[in-house]
Structure 1
């Protein structure tokens, strides 16, 4: 990615594929979207799929079968992680639900298998390969699977002094966002939820519902979000961060696609923004506040238990979490991957297709670490949100 590639082009060029009449600025926005991904929190029910005892046994057998092959974990796929046909079809159906249904599905039951750390990683990757066959690998950190946990109490090695921890490694609350250009589907495996009374709750909100609401009440917020003038601070290897002007809202075939993450726009206490970067405008700051407020109003708390594997649409469903941890280390520990299913994937705006597709570049080595040995430099993406 070139350090001089500063885009000044609005994403409005991609609106035309979904809107039949384009006149004044508000008319550039596609009409209200319809479908099962438009929901309010109280309407979101029955998104949990239970694994039967025999299905859990099949997953455990697939883990042992893969380990017997002596392959690297990056080789996990449907051919090396063998499951019965009926279970394979059950998992495959999840893809349609997260792409074209409500945008979330949770697979429950693996907690009773009592898998160790290595087996949990293998099971997570193996089961997920039946939902979405493609795994994303970040082009900056070259990380395929990351550990979402409290690393604030880890001893800091000399090389990491002065390097801030990413959002996935600290227990601060995170507002509603989608992980930018990271992948279509966010997959999370709950190894340890940290305890019901210890924070870290997860929340989701349909951006399609947010979009429809703002289209009616504050379309200028959407116009601001769709303008390619948001000053993102991007990291690069061995050099200072650089500026990239991009939208946070995209459209293709009438679908609104949100890719708003705040850390590379505002900085965080542990990853402060470079003073060389321009500030977001007052209009952009207000747009973030309005989107956050509406997303919170329509949100739902995720029903979560140890062993769950969550699949969340990262293009149309925003996610957030409450704070956890603090003076003592929290036991909360999730595994995270980003996925894509070519059979169900959405079209993306042609002008930005390379950015949406980069994490799925073929031939890139996949790293699925069992232990989170480097929570500093290598677990933060180029967009600094971690």
Structure 2
């Protein structure tokens, strides 16, 4: 679709998501036409995304875990060199990156539960396997945490010092609307340690934003303009001081690709972390855009086929994800996922120039990586920013 086919009030400024005062060199590519390819799907069209580990693969991964433990290194040292796998299995894992970046955007590696790993070994295996899919792991700039635990902490006694902090989004059981995790990493990786069991809830759903994008180009391009405008009021929490306002777009463009970075918690607050009253409210256009995107994501979504032991890989720039509520009010849920954000330098998408620092910050070289076996941060004692959920 050409620029002229957009609404009359469109401007190159709004489409590029930058202010007119910015230099021309900072401009991302202009609004691309309808997207094509396997990353555009809806509902049951997302299929054949499960990659099964065979018995010999599982044995090799188990051996690599033992090899790494015998090295006596810090878990942040896990890499393809310290977690050795045979070339055939390494190629099998590397091909997952191609699916995530140039295919459907979703892949699930299945069978790791058969290795019967304890908690420490599961963390090592998760990071080791992921290092063959993507060579970089993200860190939280506040805590240097690379791996976080997605679990139910709602039944734990809140310390006095934490009464006004609230639980992080990864520790609550409420349903989450469709979103992508803002400036967190190119690829979201989740390892299902415990799915909570039958009836526990927490079903996961994915939706292709490129399908949503194509639909909006035809039906309501003004929503794309609103998403690309540079005035979305994201509230960023800080560890030891008041939150601050960061204005920016929710939709970016680079090299012909739309990249969605729309997360609701910093815009609306969450069930356990209220939005600071000093923050500006969303405009009517922004509220409408959120509702339209959520409606289309629900319409086009696919429920994920999930089994215990799975490692899920999701393109965090083109695929939106959501989950249903889980657990019961009077009982703690056993549902437990390990989460990391990744980047594969071989396949990574180019980022818009003006926002490169935001996209690149989690991958700052030389930063120590914490891969905790036990969750130690349910009340966000260490990490202050809320970019998920």
Normalised by the length of structure 2, the TM-score is 0.92
**Residue 385 (1) aligns with residue 379 (2):** no
The CA deviation string for residues 71-96 of structure 1, in whole angstroms up to 9 with x for no partner, is 00000000000111100010001011
Task: Find 1:363's aligned residue among 348, 366, 370.
Answer: 366
**Residue 342 (1) aligns with residue 339 (2):** no
Q: How many residues were matched structurally?
A: 369
User: 2:385 & 2:15 partners in 1: Cα distance?
Assistant: 21
User: 1:379 & 1:315 partners in 2: Cα distance?
Assistant: 26
User: 1:347 & 1:182 partners in 2: Cα distance?
Assistant: 15
Deviation at 1:66, TM superposition (A): 0.1
Deviation at 1:241, TM superposition (A): 0.4
Query: Mean Cα displacement is larger for which, 254-263 or 134-143?
Result: 134-143
**Cα distance change on mapping 1:379 and 1:301 into 2, 3 Å:** farther
**Residue 164 (1) aligns with residue 180 (2):** no
Instruction: Structure 1: give runs of 5+ residues left out of the alignment.
Output: 1-8, 20-28
For the aligned residue pairs, the C-alpha RMSD in angstroms reads: 1.6
Normalised by the length of structure 1, the TM-score is 0.93
Deviation at 1:138, TM superposition (A): 1.3
The CA deviation string for residues 225-247 of structure 1, in whole angstroms up to 9 with x for no partner, is 00000001012232100111110
Per the alignment, residue 111 of structure 1 pairs with 113
Per the alignment, residue 53 of structure 1 pairs with 55
**Cα distance change on mapping 1:55 and 1:379 into 2, 3 Å:** farther
Per the alignment, residue 314 of structure 2 pairs with 312
User: 1:241 & 1:40 partners in 2: Cα distance?
Assistant: 38
The CA deviation string for residues 146-189 of structure 1, in whole angstroms up to 9 with x for no partner, is 00000011222333222200111000000000000000000000
Question: Where do residues 12-161 of structure 1 align in structure 2 (5 Å cutoff)?
Answer: 12=16, 18-19=29-30, 29-161=31-163
The CA deviation string for residues 76-119 of structure 1, in whole angstroms up to 9 with x for no partner, is 00000011110001000101110111001100001111110000
Per the alignment, residue 296 of structure 1 pairs with 298
The CA deviation string for residues 30-80 of structure 1, in whole angstroms up to 9 with x for no partner, is 211111101111111100000010110000000000000000000000000
> What stretches of structure 1 move > 4 A for 4+ residues in a row?
13-19, 378-381
* 3-state secondary structure, aligned to 2:188: strand
User: 1:170 & 1:379 partners in 2: Cα distance?
Assistant: 17
User: 2:385 & 2:154 partners in 1: Cα distance?
Assistant: 21
User: 1:270 & 1:87 partners in 2: Cα distance?
Assistant: 42
Work out whether residues 16 and 29 of structure 2, in 8 Å CA contact, stay in contact via their aligned partners in 1: no
